[in-house]
Structure 1
Amino acid sequence: MRIGVIISDEPRINDEIRVSQVRLIGPNGEQVGVIATSVALNLAKEANLDLVEVAPNAKPPVAKLIDYGKYKYNEKIKAREARRNQSTAEIKEIRFRLKIDDHDFEVKKGHVVRFLNGGDKVKVTIMLRGREQSRPIGGVELLRRLASEVEEYGTVEFAPKQEGRNIIMTLAPKGKKVHTQSEQRRRGDQSRAERQARQAARLAAKQEAQAQAAAAAKAAVASDKTKTSESK
C-alpha cells in the first residue's frame, strides 16, 4: 500500500529553515546579502520578527525578516476581498401553495423581501395540485399580488409562466437596493481601513528595531567579509 505524502504550501520559518546560509532581505525590502542562517535568526529575534523562507529553490535560499502573523493576516484579508469581488447574486427560491392563507403569505413575502434586500434574485414557485392545474390563472394572480406588494424592493424579471405543474416568476432586486448594499460594503471597507491604520500606528514602534536589525545584518556581512580577507 502506498502512503500519500502531504506537501504543505506554508513557507518554512525560523528554526524550520535548515540550510547553513540564506540570502537575506531586510524588513523594508533591502537586500542585505548572503549571511549565516544562525546570524539571520538572531537578527530576527532582536527585531521581534520572523525569518521566513520566501524562495526555497534559490541558491542559497532567499529569506526575509517579516512579522509572519501580520503577513498571514494580510493574506487572509486579500483572499476574502478577492472572493467577495468574484461573488455574484444568488437565486433564492420560495414555494407557495395556491390555497395559502394570509398569515403564511405574509411570512413568505417577508422572506422574499429579505432576499431582495440582500441583493439576491428570488424564484417564486406556485405548486399546483390536481384540478388546480386546469385553472392556472389563480396562481398567476397570486404571483402578481406578490409582485405588487414587494415592488418597493424588487421588479419582475421573468413574468409568471406555467412549467408543468408549477407556475414560476423571478424577481430581481431594485437598483437602489444594490446601491444600498454597495454603500454598506463601502462603509465596511472604510472601517477596516481605519482599523488597519490603527494597527499600522501600533506597529510603527517596530520600525526602529527593524532598521537596527537591517544595519546589524549589514555589519555582520561586512565583518564576515573582513574575516575572510584576513584569513587569506
Structure 2
Amino acid sequence: MRIEDALRLAQEAELDLVEVAAQARPPVCKLMDYGKFKYESAQKARESRRNQQLTTIKEQKLRPKIDTHDYETKKRNVVRFLEGGNKVKVTIMFRGREQSRPELGFRLLQRLAEDVAELGTVEAAPKQDGRNMTMVIAPNKKPAVRPRATAPAAGPADAPQG
C-alpha cells in the first residue's frame, strides 16, 4: 500500500500510522494509537529489566605461599560468593622471586577450581598478567525446581453444592 493511502486511512480512523518493523522489506506499519504503543513498549522493557539477573564479580586475592588454614578460609569465601550467584575473580599476587615460579600460582588456582567444581566452572583459565595471575569462576546454573505432585485436587463430586 502506498504511504499516502495509509496516512489517509489513519486520519479517517483518527489513529496514527506507526512503523512496526523498519528492517522488513517492505517496511511494516500499523494503524494504532501511538501513545498507547509507546506506553506498552515501555512496560515490556521495564518487565524484561525486572526479570534480568545482575551478576557481580567478587574478587578473592591469594599469595602463592599460602598456609592451609588461610587457604581454607579463602576457599570458604569463594564458595559463599558462588552460592550467592556471583562470579569470582581469583587473583594470585606474586612478589619478588615468586614471579620466577608462576607454576606455583597455576597449581594453586587449579586446586581451588577442583575444590569448588560442584558449585562453579572456570570461565576464564588462569592467565599471567604482570605480577598477578587471574582466573574467573562462574556459578553453575541452578537446576529448575519442578513442583512436586500432590494429592489430587477436589473434583466436581467433592465440591460443595450451593
Q: TM-score range by the shorter chain?
A: 0.5 to 0.7
Matched, 1:93 2:56: no
Aligned residue in 1 for 2:82: 116
In structure 1, the residue corresponding to 2:62 is in which secondary structure?
strand
How high is the TM-score relative to the length of structure 2? 0.57
Aligned residue in 2 for 1:174: 140
Q: Which has the higher contact order (CA 8 A, sep 6+)?
A: 1
Give the Cα separation in 2 of the matches to 1:94 and 1:84: 29
The alignment-based identity, stated in percent, is 63
The Cα offsets for residues 24-49 of structure 1, whole Å up to 9 and x where unpaired, read as xxxxxxxxxxxxxxxxxxxxxxxxxx
Deviation at 1:160, TM superposition (A): 0.5
Give the Cα separation in 1 of the matches to 2:50 and 2:57: 17
Pairwise CA RMSD of aligned residues?
2.2
Aligned residue in 1 for 2:131: 165
In structure 1, the residue corresponding to 2:118 is in which secondary structure?
coil
Query: Could you tell me which of 108, 119, 133 is aligned with 1:142?
Result: 108
Q: Using a 3 Å threshold, how does the CA distance of structure 1 residues 82 and 126 change in structure 2: closer, same or farther?
A: same
Return structure 1 stretches of 4+ with deviation > 6 angstroms. none
Structure 2 runs not aligned, ≥5 long: 1-46, 146-162
Aligned residue in 1 for 2:4: none
* Map 1:30-179 → 2, pairs under 5 A: 84-176=50-142, 179=143
Give the Cα separation in 1 of the matches to 2:128 and 2:91: 10
Deviation at 1:137, TM superposition (A): 0.5
Give the Cα separation in 2 of the matches to 1:106 and 1:92: 17
Structure 1 runs not aligned, ≥5 long: 1-80, 184-232
